[in-house]
């Protein structure tokens, strides 16, 4: 598959944001984590300030500082995709321009949440953001969080924009996703780790993962095997990694990623309210998932 068909690479991880004991950004830890994800988990790109990165609780200034730290650490070895989506078009444009100035390689733009705009509003929102910079855009379709899906017809129209290149698909509707892929050149990336292989079977190209803080190298091998026609091998990887693919979402993903990294001896600090740290029971249950996948 050509690189143009995979504009953001094959494997991306939505990186957690490290914090110090007093709740401040831990930029050295962010650089170290980014390096681990690129060098040891084989990521082609990292998403910074996404949902897993607790973006709703970081300021605009912190987002810029974090982006600078990660670009300095791994820029040139991996694409750095900045999460810029908010419920405000004006604010999203501001974050997009800020990310471009900080050296981002692309933008992740989630559906405006809570306000539930109509599809005509989504069209205007995504086009306005895509017009704001020269960076490629990856739309994030996640109706169970945003409250609104990006409808198939809307996606078909958005695909006409030269800088809207892909979709992070967490809609959970493979039929509609397959229809969009059949009629456009949009690159579809799974936004739900466990759906990656099924999505690839109808045209998907990769994964923006959460469990890939741990499962990244295996997930990359699973996707590569499928793309190269080694379907049985891909299925073996899926079955091995499925406990981790799903187990990371037993509660909010950022909670168990941080708990799991601590188990691996890579602590990245706590979480910002309203997120809370994993309970001992949740941590042990996730550790069992990692063991079942051969990752701990």
Residues annotated as catalytic (active site), given as ranges: 140, 168
Task: Quickly list DSSP for 129-172.
Answer: HHHHSSS-EEEEE-HHHHSS---HHHHHHHTTSTTEEEEEE-S-
Question: Using an 8 Å Cβ cutoff, are 196 and 223 in contact?
Answer: yes
- The secondary element (H helix, E strand) that includes residue 187 is strand 187-190
Question: Using an 8 Å Cβ cutoff, are 150 and 141 in contact?
Answer: yes
Residue closest to 104 by CA, chosen among 22, 47, 154: 47
**Around Cβ 21, how many Cβ atoms within 10 Å?**
8
Q: For 195, how many CA atoms within 13 A lie in the half-sphere containing its CB?
A: 19
Q: What angle do CA 65, 67, 68 make, to 5 degrees?
A: 65
Residue closest to 13 by CA, chosen among 202, 165, 218, 160: 218
Collect all residues with Cβ–Cβ distance below 8 Å to 177 and sequence separation of at least 6. Answer: 167, 169, 171, 188, 199, 202, 204
d(CA 101, CA 250): 37
d(CA 65, CA 19): 13
Task: Quickly list DSSP for 104-125.
Answer: -SEEEEEPPPSS---HHHHHHH
d(CA 285, CA 62): 32
């Amino acid at each position: 598959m050509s690189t143009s068909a995979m504009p953001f690479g094959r494997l991306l991880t939505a990186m957690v944001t490290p914090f110090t004991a007093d709740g401040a950004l831990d930029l050295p830890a962010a650089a170290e984590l980014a390096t681990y994800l690129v060098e040891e988990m084989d990521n082609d790109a990292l998403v910074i300030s996404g949902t897993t990165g607790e973006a709703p609780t970081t300021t605009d200034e912190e987002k810029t500082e974090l982006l600078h730290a990660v670009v300095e650490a791994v820029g040139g070895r991996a694409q750095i995709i900045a999460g810029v989506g908010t419920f405000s078009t004006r604010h999203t444009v501001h974050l997009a321009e800020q990310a471009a100035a900080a050296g981002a390689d692309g933008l992740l733009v989630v559906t405006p949440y809570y306000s539930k705009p109509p599809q005509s509003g989504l069209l205007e929102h995504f086009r306005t953001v895509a017009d704001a910079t020269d960076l490629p855009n990856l739309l994030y379709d996640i109706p169970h969080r945003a409250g609104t899906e990006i409808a198939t017809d809307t996606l078909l129209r958005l695909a006409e924009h030269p800088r809207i290149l892909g979709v992070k698909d967490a809609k959970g509707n493979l039929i509609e996703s397959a229809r969009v892929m059949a009629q456009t050149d949009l690159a579809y990336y799974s936004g739900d780790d466990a759906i990656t292989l099924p999505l690839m079977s109808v045209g998907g190209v990769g994964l923006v993962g959460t469990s890939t803080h741990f499962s990244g190298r295996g997930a990359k091998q699973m996707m590569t095997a499928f793309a190269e026609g080694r379907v049985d091998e891909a299925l073996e990887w899926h079955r091995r990694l499925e406990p981790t693919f799903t187990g990371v979402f037993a509660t909010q993903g950022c909670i168990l990623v941080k708990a799991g990294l601590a188990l691996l001896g890579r602590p990245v600090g706590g979480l910002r309210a309203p997120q809370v740290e994993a309970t001992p029971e949740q941590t042990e249950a996730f550790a069992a998932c990692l063991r079942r996948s051969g990752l701990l």
